[in-house]
Structure 1
Amino acid sequence: MQLRPSAVALATVLALGLTALPLSGTALARSAPPSSCTARVSPPATAEGPDSEALCAALAGLPDQDATAALIRVGGKGTWHGVAGVRDIRTGAPALENARFRAGSVTKVVTAAIVLQLVAEGRISLDGTVQHYLPGLLTERFKPITVRQLLNYTSGLQSGPSLGDTVEDGYPHRFETLTPRQVVRGAVAKGPGSDPGTQQDYDNIHYTVLGLLIEKVTGDSYAHQAAVRVFRPLGMRDSSFPNGPDPLIHGPHNRGYDWLDGALVDVTDWNMSDRFAAGDMISTTADLERLLVALFRGRVVSEPQLEEMFTLPAGVPDATYAAGLERIELNGRVIWGKTGSRPGCAAVIAATRDLSRTLVYAVNATDAKGDGLPIAQRFGFPAFNR
């Protein structure tokens, strides 16, 4: 069980024998460097620009019990950038605005874009099946599963194995390797969870299979395809994938932490190879903003394939996901985006379809794999106040 400490007594020693960080909530607050909030609203003095006051308030007081650092970029009709917190709670050095971080499931947007590019090139059909493109991957227990059903999470595949369902469970195994093929084999062994196209179940397994599909069709690694098709054309110079099981984030980054057994533990270094095309990307807020804007403008995926990213599956009850993107309604407007989380970091990209408002954030949340709604309400929702 994960225990969240009080504000006055936080430091204990992990049962694993690791030294916990000797900090309390009040100590975190005392060591907080000043936050930086810069806004450029055009035209000024209108209700259309970002709510700078609310956004700055979200950053006030970092680091605290819920997050040690936050990076926020708001664009559209006026821009706003904010950074607060610390790079490393041991040194108290201020957080880096250009920090690289694990973007988690935001990776799925890149994967969906690559698949749709291959569709546009005639190398993949959305109505083509996994059984056709990846013969032998599924057993005879599975009905035909289409590429479109993988993209919108209606394939009926069940989740594959992991090295821990929670950060607490996974932490002792953080340097172990679980390959995508092992994940898929474990999922297939469970058999189908539902008939394809009948219900939407968000899970990494759909995009793990899509990553294998990309490699099979292109004869290339998924990571290289992401680089040549998305990162390089958009100038996303700080975006990459780890080299296999490499657990490090190379280049400038803010450390990530999680409360484990009542102690604040550094969880930055972690082998994420099992996440593959579903959640292994490392990026920056500036790079993800480039991706978001270019994608919505049709510079990454062209029509008619782009429309797949804004189309919910027909006839599927309570569906909220299209190909790579999720549809939400907030303050009376429709927003499309994607969340992502890995131990120590929660990330989001989101925008209105017309790009009148865009949001990218990376928050070094201390419960990043828990319920992400409080973090989104604090750091994301203010971007759409008006």
Structure 2
Amino acid sequence: MTPRRRGLLGAVAAGLVAAIGLGGAAPAGAAERLDRDVLRRTVDGLPGEDVTGALVRVTGDDGTWWGTSGVADRRTGERVRSDVSFRIGSITKLFTGTLLLQLAGEGRVDLGAPVRRYLPGLLPEGYDGVTVGMLLDHTSGLPPADREMTVGDGSNAWRVAHRFDSWSPEQIVRGALRGHDRPVSVPGGRQQYNGVNSFVAGLLVERVTGRSYAHEVRSRITRPLGLGRTYVPAPRDTSLPEPHAHGYLALDREGGLADVTEQSPYPWAEGGMVSTAADLDRFLNALFAGRLLRPAQQRLLFTLPGPEVVVTDPEKRFSRAGLMPAVLPNGVEVWGKTGSEPGYVNGLFATKDRSRRLVYSLNYTNRPGKPEKPYILGIAKAAFTGAGKP
């Protein structure tokens, strides 16, 4: 996660996982029968000062349900539609990880090889121990992005004023490495969520394939799956395609909001993609079904690092492929990823057997002292347990 989003939403990278508990220890149960009334009441109760608009899509063995609430545009009063585009934030990491795992399955990348073999000159010699696989499960020990450069004083006002600032992937990586001749922790020894890993991974994809990251996403994932509204924006494309829901940030406790729908897509392979709920559901379904990866790489989706790896934050635990596990109070185990950009908080989660899948996108204003966790918890309960709070 880049500092821009870490400062904006605190624990949003943990999102659903922090709200419902970590996976891996409790036995997996079966999702309860989908309760559409609970889902409807949950979604209807979302809009307010903290959430201006919401979209929730639940699919699986019990069919497909979607619900929206709130406004897509506060100026016109237009309602949120089920097919709106939104900035998916760190969900982009799953696309990046999928590309790397595909290249590994083709024998073009060795997950156990040093990153410096593929990107000579990007990382200093002191990073010889950082392997490609460590980029995926956040055990590389790479330093985080330069906060002063990307987040400023951490306020919403700063983000509004600097929402069009842009940096190349190389600038982000070099900014993170400034003053760090060696990793901040022993490579492979500590798992600590860090968006710089995905910037490096995106650069590695480009070096190995000889084509742009956007081209590889399109040719390997979105086009084969028919994800017609999922894409990597051009570096200077600050727009969102219609229809879309506007994103807003609170400028003060009294509720003044600034429209941040248009913003720099600089997070790129780390968090810059745009998609829709239907496209993300199709992507997750295909990924879990083994349609995108070969068997050896598919197994990494649900394989957690061993006990020798220290998990810095138990609420941010990742598989060898970058998926986040969670176990709900009723024992249902789900896997997925959260993601955000200013004005947008999103997530996609599913049971391993794909019998229940959830995609949500909230237009979250980030008012001081108003965390997004309660809203995410309510959605998760409604989608997977039928016990959402009306």
TM-score by length of 2: 0.83
Matched, 1:271 2:256: no
Match of 1:147 among 127, 132, 137: 132
What residue number does 2:96 align with? 111
* 68, 71, 82: which one aligns with 1:86: 71
Q: CA 1:90–1:330 in 2, change beyond 3 Å: closer, same or farther? A: same
User: Helix, strand or coil: the match of 2:126?
Assistant: coil
Check whether the contact 1:143–1:195 (CA below 8 A) recurs between aligned residues: no
| Residue in 2 that maps onto 1:304 | 296
- 1:87 counterpart SS class: coil
Contact 2:156 2:250 in 1 (8 A): no
Check whether the contact 1:49–1:77 (CA below 8 A) recurs between aligned residues: no
The aligned residue for residue 52 of structure 1 is 36
Q: Which runs of 5+ in 1 are unaligned?
A: 3-45
After TM superposition, what 4+ stretches of structure 1 lie above 6 angstroms from structure 2?
A: none
CA distance in 2, matches of 1:168, 1:208: 26
- Residues 248, 268 of structure 1: 8 Å contact kept: yes
Aligned residue number for residue 321 of structure 1:
318
Sequence identity percentage? 42
Task: State yes or no: 1:251 paired with 2:251.
Answer: no
- Equivalent residue number for residue 374 of structure 2: 374
The structure 1 residue matched to 2:150, chosen from 154, 159, 163, is 163
Q: Structure 1 CA distance, aligned partners of 2:96 and 2:367?
A: 22
Q: Could you tell me whether the CA contact under 8 Å between 2:190 and 2:309 is conserved in 1?
A: yes
Q: For 1:158, give the aligned amino acid.
A: P
Count of equivalent residues:
341
**Is 1:143–1:196's contact at 8 Å kept on the other side of the alignment?**
no
User: For residue 47 of structure 2, what is the aligned residue in structure 1?
Assistant: 63
| 8 Å Cα contact 2:36/2:65 also seen in 1 | yes
Alpha-carbon separation, structure 2, partners of 1:377 and 1:226: 31
* Unaligned 5+ runs, structure 2: 1-6, 8-29
One-letter amino acid of the structure 2 residue matched with residue 376 of structure 1: I
Q: Secondary structure at the match of 1:336?
A: strand
Mapped partners of 2:119, 2:248: distance in 1: 39
Relative contact order higher in (CA < 8 Å, ≥ 6 apart): 2
Over aligned residue pairs, what C-alpha RMSD do you find?
A: 2.0
1:15 is matched with none
1:203 aligned onto 2:194 = yes
Q: Deviations over 1:287-335 (max 9, x none)?
A: 0000010100001112110111211111213362011211111121221
Task: Say if 1:350 and 1:358, in contact at 8 Å, map to a contact too.
Answer: yes
State whether residues 85 and 244 of structure 2, in contact with CA within 8 Å, keep that contact through their aligned partners in structure 1: yes
Matched letter for residue 279 of structure 1: G
SS of corresponding position for 2:109: coil
Q: Could you say what secondary structure the match of 1:88 adopts?
A: coil
Q: Alignment partner of 1:278: what SS?
A: helix
Q: Is the 8 A contact 2:46 2:375 kept in 1?
A: no
User: In the alignment, residue 357 of structure 1 is paired with which amino acid?
Assistant: R
2:205 match: 214
**1-structure distance, mates of 2:48, 2:38:** 18
Match of 1:349 in 2: 348
Amino acid at match of 1:327: P
The normalised TM-score by structure 1 is 0.84
- Indicate the SS of the match to 1:367: coil
The alpha carbon displacement at 1:368 in A equals 9.1
Kindly indicate whether the alpha-carbon contact (under 8 Å) linking 2:114 and 2:128 is maintained by their aligned counterparts in 1: no
Which of 1 and 2 has greater Rg?
1
Report deviation, 1:69: 1.1
SS state at 2:67 partner: strand
Match of 1:304, SS? Answer: helix
